[in-house]
Structures are given as C-alpha cells and as structure tokens.
Amino acid sequence: MATAPAERSIVMLFLKNPPTFLFFTGKGGVGKTSLSCATAIRLVRLGKKVLLVSTDPASNVGQVFSQEIGNKITAISTVPGLFALEIDPQQAAREYRERIIGPVRGALPEAVVSGIEEQLSGACTTEIAAFDEFTALLTDATLTADYDHILFDTAPTGHTIRLLQLSGAWSGFIEKNPEGASCLGPLAGLEKQRQRYAEAVKALSDPVRTRLILVARAQKTTLAEVARTHQELAATGLTRQNLVINGVLSAEEAAYDALAAAIRHREQAAIAGMPAALRKLPVDQLPLKAFNMVGVEALCSLLSDQDESAPAGNGAPPAKCADLPQLSALVEAIAGRGHGLIMMMGKGGVGKTTLAVAVAVALAERGLPVHLTTSDPAAHLSDTLAGSLRHLEVSRIDPEVETERYRRHVLDAKGQDLDAEGRAMLEEDLRSPCTEEIAVFQAFSRVLREADKQFVVMDTAPTGHTLLLLDATGAYHREVTRHGIDPQVHYTTPMMQLQDPERTQVLIVTLPEPTPVLEAAQLQEDLRRAGIEPWAWVINSSLAAAPTASPLLKQRAALEVAQIEAVRTHHAQRIALVPMQTEEPVGIDQLRSLLNPAS
C-alpha cells in the first residue's frame, strides 16, 4: 500500500503556526490556486476545519476537486472537513456596477451613463467588488468561530487596501470631482459598508490573525514584481509575509539535456539574485511537477516528496505543434506594410520585451527604419539588444517621470480647492495603475506620429479600459470630434490610429498555460471594447516546440497542447509559437533564433 501523503510531507515555513487567515497572492500562472488547495488539504489532515475562498477570475477550484462549487459554501466531498466558496469577480463587478448605475439610468443622459459604466469597468472595480463579497468572511464572527482557518486564493492589492483605509466621504468626493476618479468611482457604492470595511482592513493588518503568502516562479521579472507587491502590502500593514517559489526544476532533471540545464541555471540565478527585501522573508521552494494539479492525490504531492512518473518519449515536439507558424511568419507580414505601429501587449512575465526587441531587430535587418520604445520599468532594451543596428532607434519612456508630471498637473488643476481629506483621496486615486497608463500613453502619443513614415515597436501598451477612460475624460479624440471640425478636413487622433488595422498591429503575448491564456483572452475582450482588434497572438517559451530529453519537461510539453489549440481555434486570427530557449535571448544572434529556431 502506498504511503499516505501526509506521512511524507515537506516541512514548509509558511505553514508554521498558521493563523486564522491565510492569503495567497501572485501574478497569474504562478500556482496560487494549486498551493491554496494543497494547503487546505494539509490543514484538514492535521485535524482542522477549513474554508477555502477563491476570488481569482481564473479560479478552477471546482475543477481541481471535480465538483461544482460556485458562490455558496460547499463541502468538498473528497476531503471531509474542507469547505469551499468561489466568488466570481466578474459577476460581482456586474452586480456592483448595477447597484451604482441603476438608480441614475434614465435620469441622466445616455452618454453620461456610458461614461460612468466605463469608469466602473476596470480592474480596480472588479477587485473592490470581489473584496466587498468576501469582506463578510473577515468580519463574520460566526464564520470565524466555525472554521479553524479561512484561506483566500488571491489577495487584494496594496492600492485597494489604501483606498479602503481612507476615512473621508467617498460618495461626496465623487459628486464634487466626477472627472478625477478612475478608482475612487467604485467606492461610491460602499458608503453603507464603511464600518465593515474598517473591520476587514483591521483584520488584514493584524499579524496574529493574518499571514500573506507571496507565490512566485523562479524568474527575474516575476520575483521583481513580487518584491513590489511585498513592499506595497507591507506599507498598508500586512507585515506578516512568506514567500513560496513554485515550480523549480530539480538538479536531477537538469542533467538530461542542455535545455533542462539552461532552465535550471536561469532559475537558480534568479533565486540567488532576487531583491533583498524578499531574501529577508521566510522562503520555501517547491519542485516543478510533471502533471497538472487536479485531484486530491496530485494536490497532496505538491507539498510532499511523492511524484508521478513521467511517460517515456522520443523528445520530439508534439505533432500538433510542429506545423504552427514561427514568429518570422508574422514579421514577414508586418514588413510588407512598410511602416506602422506594432504594440506588444500581455501580462507581466510573458516575455513582451524580448519579443518586441526581436521583432524590431528583424525589421531593421530588412533595411526598414524602426523606433523601438518601452515604458516597462523592468525593461532593459539596450541590455537585451546588446549591440546596435543600422535603421534601429531605441528609446525608453520613464513611467515614474511621466506619472509624476501627470499627477502634478491633476493635483494643481483639481486639488487646489480641496480640503486635506479630499486631497488625500485624490492623491491615492492618482496612485492607481490606470494613472500610470494614462500618463505614459500621453508620452507615447508623441511617438505615434512617427508610425506614418517608419515602424514604431511599442513594448508595454495601455489596456483597452485605460484607452476608453482616457478617451471619455477629455482626451484629444473627444476634444477634436466635439468641436465640430469641418468633416472635409482630414485629421487623425491617437485613438483613431490604434483602431485602424491598416496602421496598427497589436500582438498579444502569452504563455502556453491555462491562466496566462485566460488573462490574454480577457485582455483581448478589453481591447475590443475600445474598438481595437488584436492582429495576432504569440505563444512564448513553449516546451511543446522545444525538443528535450527530460521526462518531466516532455510531460509538461504535452500539457501545453490543449492551451495552444485553444488559442489557435478560439482566440487568435493569427498565431506564432516561440520555443523555450536553451540560451538566454540576449544579443542580436540569439534574438534571431527566436524568429526562426530551425535556422
């Protein structure tokens, strides 16, 4: 008989003397849901009664346990003592928007209502609405008495917590400042729950009751992002934090071939060089598994030394991936246009910067003039390029400088007549991610004009929501169209250029994993609301496109096929598959290998 998983458990620092509330946070695809589910099972097997709550838009807790859960506390049949609740953040956001907009629909002009709806369609609204749902769990004495531990899959951001900590009258501020509230707008619907929110924030900040588990992968960009999250949340009072680095390739697996060895080397270098703030935290590492975390047995293995054997194979790429276009095919189609704007979009950590540089190099080597620019604070275009090329100009827009310039402008224009409390609210609102995107886009707008005569490759572009928000709050597009310019006079606004498929190609970058693909699909819908149709998808760092002798990596490659097929058949008009690289894609020669790996 097999040894019970609990008897072979790995000692984990984040589970030492666990408090009542455990929050798991990290970017999409790092394994938050798997780790929170595995932790819940571990605690139940230690004799605890546990409630697992997910507010992740990509939540698959029901799928993991092979039963329907939904927005009600449900007993997990395969794990007695474990209960789960899935809060659908999109549904919560829809209901939340309706509570705010419903009373004014019909009383205000349709254009005004549409503007309010757009203001309430961003990520900040979704997060606040979801937090509104599970606040009751933090403050309900009956629930906390019923369960030994309550686990949350996906924690609120520091920005949201700071918003909730503000003591002023949210709705009154919105009434007086309708144009300067990209994130404070959603708070207008929370006035009645003010006391409950204060209690929830107090519970979050209590180190005796709450622990935050930062989940990351062993990647430089991911660890840098987690370090920012750590500092942002610590500043709000969530000081009891642990770091879990998930999916680390073992030394044994790295011995199979050059690809596995390269992955191991990159991961270990990222861990050794992670920010000092993270090294001060208690840190756990979990090994990469050869299978998806579905089912109790698989989840138990995540926190134990047991594993499943990987199937044998010849190391060749899966047949379904062998005939997919390479990045060079997309570049060939782009080059035929002669000029235009190329926007690389996607979540952090998917490789946008590297692919943007590779595309710019390929175009420049064809003798086409190219301006490559970025606003990513973690992007080092010159380091990735590691050289220079004729026809290629490289620039960087500093988001901190641009955001501070925009903040000062708004504070001077709208904050001069506010009292101290109102000014504090406006300042916090201006710390939102939307503010940075708007400020940076204004800087990008100066570069966009160049795309009429050459290629402009833009790494890190604003979301569709931000573009609509900018457009709805006095952007150039609205000003031009509102002032009744002679229809015979030709003019083009930045928004019109982005919406013109003959002048702009948007490339969505993702990874061949469930959460990154779902997030990319949500980004695509976001852009479509703004009238921007993505031109192509690029699936980056694919093991399915990279032959390997490692049994574990081969099984991981097989798991990618379903995600690649979903992109090809359901999401993308055009697709390119970029294999996982043996060598770090730095320097012109290595960047060329991204375009056409077989060459």
218 residue type, one letter: A
Per-residue CA distances from 243 to 20, 87, 215, 274, 286 (Å): 18, 25, 6, 12, 11
Residue in 125, 160, 515, 541 annotated catalytic: 515
Residue in 36, 56, 182, 375 annotated catalytic: 56
Side by side, which strands form the sheet with 340-345?
392-396, 370-374, 455-459, 340-345, 504-510, 536-542, 575-579
Residue whose C-alpha is closest to residue 93's, from 55, 62, 150, 52: 55
Asked if 29 is an active-site residue, the reply is: yes
Residue whose C-alpha is closest to residue 349's, from 29, 1, 18, 12: 29
Residue in 26, 27, 33, 81 annotated catalytic: 33
From CA 412, how far away is CA 423, in angstroms rounded?
11
Side by side, which strands form the sheet with 210-217?
74-75, 82-86, 50-54, 149-153, 21-25, 210-217, 241-248, 283-287
Residue whose C-alpha is closest to residue 169's, from 182, 187, 156: 187
Residue 148 token pair: 């030994």
Q: Which residues pair with 242 in a beta bridge?
A: 213
Asked if 31 is an active-site residue, the reply is: yes
Residue in 27, 32, 289, 352 annotated catalytic: 32
Residue in 25, 26, 28, 34 annotated catalytic: 34
Per-residue CA distances from 563 to 94, 226, 517, 521, 575 (Å): 28, 26, 7, 12, 13
Residue in 29, 340, 349, 415 annotated catalytic: 29
Backbone angles phi, psi at 109, to 5 degrees: -55, 145
Asked if 384 is an active-site residue, the reply is: no
Asked if 382 is an active-site residue, the reply is: no
Residue 159, number of CB atoms within 10 A of its CB: 19
Residue in 26, 28, 31, 237 annotated catalytic: 31
From CA 169, how far away is CA 179, in angstroms rounded?
17
Asked if 412 is an active-site residue, the reply is: no
Active site residues: 29, 31-34, 56, 515
